[in-house]
Structure 1
Amino acid sequence: MNHQQSLQRAIDLGNKASDLDNEAVAADRKEAGSGRWPEVLQAYRVALDNWWFVVKYEQNATLKKQLTERIKQIMERAEAIKNLIEADEGRANAPPPPPTAPPKDGGGATLSKTDKDKAEGGDAEADKLKKSLEGAIVTEKPNVRWSDIAGLEGAKNLLQETVILPVKFPQLFTGKRKPWKGILLYGPPGTGKSHLARAVATEADSTFFSLSSSDLVSKWQGESEKLVKNLFSVARDSTPAVIFIDEIDSMCGSRGDGESESSRRMKTEFLVQMQGVGTDTTGVLMLGATNCPWDLDSAIRRRFEKRIYIPLPDLHARRAMVDIGIGDTPVELTEEDKMLLAERTEGFSGADVGTLCKDALFAVIGKVMKATHFKRAHRDGKAMWTPCSPMDPQGIAMKVMDIASDELMEPVANVQDFLAAAGTTKSSVGADEIARNEAWTAEFGQEGS
């Protein structure tokens, strides 16, 4: 029997036990002591044996966790029935089992969402869903400042107006002058959209939720929209709050005939929550990021009041990105060298410039590994070894592995290393992608640079 067949067998046995359980509950309601509880308990025991076998060989960590939760529910029910059986035979003092059996599993290789929480009350389910969202709250600041982002002054100013100022100067935002509730950052990949969100998380004195589609899309029927609803509920309880969803197009794409009912309901819940129908969304900002704004559903697009295009960096931004990419690593570059690099990287995204700088800095390691000769040098009064040309009169033939780890002095990256990296590093953004973003901006968005 393969794993798929084992899973189906466990589902069938669980359903059989659930049916017997419900029949026993119904019989007890008609006449006390139906006498069927031992049969129900045995059915659950057989089902549990099969569930444990399935879990043992399940490779998918997410599904394994869900199956384990299912086993826990069955065990709780079986334990309640066992206590009932062990009580007085007359049932006069016997503790009643839970009012209903665990719900049956759906057919096929996937499981349906249990309705256990419905029997226990909606509050328990809401608390459980809210707790599952606690991991999305960014508790440690990412340590990305506005100054760490080169260019994009328009986007930075808008985010400061929306997130920072309302907290510090609430008197500025009265009457009809309310902060924006939805901001969409879009543009080619690697231009700084997620970096801007990290800066918001660092600079803002707000509760910051960072999510992706995996945090909100559930295999359980009906749970995705509940997660969305509870996300906004938790955010409203934690104001001021920022909800950041990266790659939002993966969840809120255009609705079509081939779309699943679950996906459609989740988008509808997003629309309701972003609109704030029947609820007060004051102090909650929805911040989305996407590389494909044209894939967004038109109704979702409208909910984002400000749609900011994050373009490729201009010359001065690329010049600043060279400094950011180098950081505090020692290099031999003049101001003219850095401007030359900025000119050579026309069409590069911020991520591309960062890759170029890292490539150039790693060239130093290549020099050390390939060196056949080293010579003496001094740093802080200590004699060290540094790579040199085989023609250097002070050079001594040796390999890097012949040198003690605390006696190696690495060379410093120079302009030749950076120009060589610029010659091999290619832009990750195509011209057609830029044209499509610019066309969408002309129709729906605004510049953020």
Structure 2
Amino acid sequence: MAQRVLKESLLKAIVSKTPNIKWSDVAGLTSAKHEVQRAIVFPQRFPSLYDDKRKASGTILLYGPPGTGKSYLAKAVATEVDHTLFSISAGDIVSKWLGESEKLVRQLFTLAREKKPSITFIDEIDALCSNREGGSGGGSAHGGSGEHTWRLKTELLVQLDGLHAGDSDNTGVFVLAATNLPWVLDPAFRRRCEPRIYIPLPDAEARKQLFRIHSGRWGELLTGADVEDLAKMTEGYSGSDIANVVKNALSVPLQKCSTRRHEEGAVWMTWEGVPKDKLSEPPVTAGDFKRVLRDRGVKSSVGVGELQRYENWTREFGVEGSS
């Protein structure tokens, strides 16, 4: 594949519009935000604090259960520091043609340097950097540990080494990698990530904030006591689980509209007979949220055993991101 074609394919990975997600939009994760701010925001704002001995982190690993806000945090960083954001998945840099995957990786980092200050967010990094020796869950989703996969991993590790070498060409180039499976990562990749930040399930205060954020204007109808109850009912839920609860709850009034008969003057009619734009929806209530949780079976997507595995890995290799 020609160099120009490689470059054009990767340019599509640039998030062209600022995500417009602020730190305040990220519920909880106080420690994670502080770690990322020190790693990325400080070097841009206060470059005089860094020299050949005190270097900014080039690669940061975000790990934790699905739906806890890893990609959301990356977008908040890109918004706050106004960096070019590359949003990459394994499919963007894995090719079936021998040698092209390595070229795509090199081209990605070349573009990141051209567009700096830049952040390259690589989601599901375990698909690219699983353990080359196999081991627990070490197989790759893209061909195991064959030569093709080894070459790709090697090239990625070489490029990441450049970010940690203190080369002036790499100043302002950062990588945020995310995974739901930190224990399958190759030790060589894990070593190059600092810090390694655990993005856990939201605590009670974060769940309250998430209900407010996701409910938007309808959230104004919920009292403090309502939100307190909902936070208690959703212990163990991820951020995406709560978003799913809110989505289902906001649809309850629409279902009422489709099943109830409506009074227009003295005439009862179904919704089909109501003139366009004349249908007034019933208000969203706290009962709608609780009904969704109790009757519709919107459950947590993360098991207790999975959480224990994340906590064990954090004790050995990571830092807590919620405290």
Q: How does 1:37-48 map to 2 (within 5 A)?
A: none
The root-mean-square deviation of aligned C-alpha atoms, in Å, is 1.9
Which residue of 1 is the match for residue 17 of structure 2?
Answer: 140
Given candidates 278, 282, 288, the residue that maps to 2:171 is 282
Is contact 1:315–1:343 with CA below 8 Å preserved after alignment? yes
Which residue of 1 is the match for residue 146 of structure 2?
Answer: 260
Structure 1: tracts of 5 or more residues without a match = 1-112, 114-124, 377-394
Distance across 2 between alignment mates of 1:402 and 1:332: 29
Q: Deviations over 1:130-155 (max 9, x none)?
A: 33321112221122221111100111
Q: Give the direction of change, closer, same or farther, for the CA distance of 1:412–1:134 in structure 2 (3 Å limit).
A: same
Letter in 1 for 2:47: P
Query: Percent of aligned pairs with the same residue?
Result: 50
2:225 aligned with 1:329? no
The total of aligned residue pairs comes to 308
Which residue of 1 is the match for residue 261 of structure 2?
Answer: 372
Q: Under a length normalisation based on structure 2, what TM-score does the superposition of the two structures give?
A: 0.90
Q: Give the direction of change, closer, same or farther, for the CA distance of 1:373–1:240 in structure 2 (3 Å limit).
A: closer
Which residue of 2 is the match for residue 82 of structure 1?
Answer: none
Q: Displacement of 1:331 after TM fit?
A: 5.6
Distance across 2 between alignment mates of 1:132 and 1:342: 43
Which residue of 2 is the match for residue 273 of structure 1?
Answer: 159
Q: Give the direction of change, closer, same or farther, for the CA distance of 1:345–1:266 in structure 2 (3 Å limit).
A: same
Q: Displacement of 1:256 after TM fit?
A: 3.6
Q: Deviations over 1:66-113 (max 9, x none)?
A: xxxxxxxxxxxxxxxxxxxxxxxxxxxxxxxxxxxxxxxxxxxxxxx7
Given candidates 235, 238, 255, the residue that maps to 1:349 is 238
Which residue of 2 is the match for residue 199 of structure 1?
Answer: 76
Q: Under a length normalisation based on structure 1, what TM-score does the superposition of the two structures give?
A: 0.66
Q: Displacement of 1:158 after TM fit?
A: 1.8
Q: Deviations over 1:30-49 (max 9, x none)?
A: xxxxxxxxxxxxxxxxxxxx
Distance across 2 between alignment mates of 1:237 and 1:406: 51
Q: Displacement of 1:318 after TM fit?
A: 0.4
2:89 aligned with 1:216? no
Answer with 1 or 2: which has the greater Rg: 1
Q: How does 1:56-71 map to 2 (within 5 A)?
A: none
Which residue of 2 is the match for residue 245 of structure 1?
Answer: 122
Is contact 2:35–2:195 with CA below 8 Å preserved after alignment? no
Q: Which structure is higher in RCO with an 8 Å CA cutoff and minimum separation 6?
A: 2
Distance across 1 between alignment mates of 2:166 and 2:312: 36
2:55 aligned with 1:178? yes
Is contact 1:213–1:251 with CA below 8 Å preserved after alignment? yes
Structure 1 SS opposite 2:20: coil
Is contact 2:211–2:219 with CA below 8 Å preserved after alignment? no
Q: Deviations over 1:198-237 (max 9, x none)?
A: 2122222222111101110011110101111121122122
Structure 1 SS opposite 2:225: helix
Which residue of 1 is the match for residue 284 of structure 2?
Answer: 413
Q: Give the direction of change, closer, same or farther, for the CA distance of 1:219–1:135 in structure 2 (3 Å limit).
A: same
Distance across 1 between alignment mates of 2:289 and 2:146: 50
Q: Give the direction of change, closer, same or farther, for the CA distance of 1:171–1:420 in structure 2 (3 Å limit).
A: same
Letter in 2 for 1:397: W
Which residue of 2 is the match for residue 232 of structure 1?
Answer: 109
